[in-house]
Amino acid sequence: MILQCKLCPQMFKSLVIPQERALGDIVGQIGNHFSKVHPAALQAYVVEISTLARALDSALLSKRLVEIPPGEDFAQSVADGGERILLNALGIDPTEVGDDNGESKN
């Protein structure tokens, strides 16, 4: 398995079998590389992961565990914001996604 850094020409290689172990090996190489060569990019990645974790938490909470009644605008805006952050991270335009009834938000 071979992957390449998007910020420089560094290649990460592993001949380990099975592929799952090879990927784990490469992830370790990537972590070492970014901590030494691209620490600012690694820090930005850590912040992004933290933001996504909070967004996922708020989105799942409102979808799976609690009902947000009408009038609870702040709670609804936090849940909606979490969904928008997750969709954007996946490259999906939130305005193009349907609501819970399958209707487009446009």
Q: Give the global pTM.
A: 0.67
d(CA 58, CA 54): 6
Mean pLDDT in the chain? 89
Residue 28 pLDDT: 95
pLDDT band, residue 85 (cuts 50/70/90): very high
pLDDT tens digits for range 25-43? 999 999 999 999 999 999 9
Classify the phi-psi angles of 83: left when phi > 0, otherwise alpha if psi is within -120 to 50, otherwise beta.
alpha
Given a cut of 90, whether residue 45 has pLDDT beyond it is yes
d(CA 101, CA 90): 21
Q: Phi and psi for 27 in degrees, rounded to 5?
A: -60, -40
d(CA 34, CA 3): 14
Burial (CB < 10 A; 0-12, 13-18, 19+), residue 22, is middle
Average pLDDT on 7-28 reads: 94
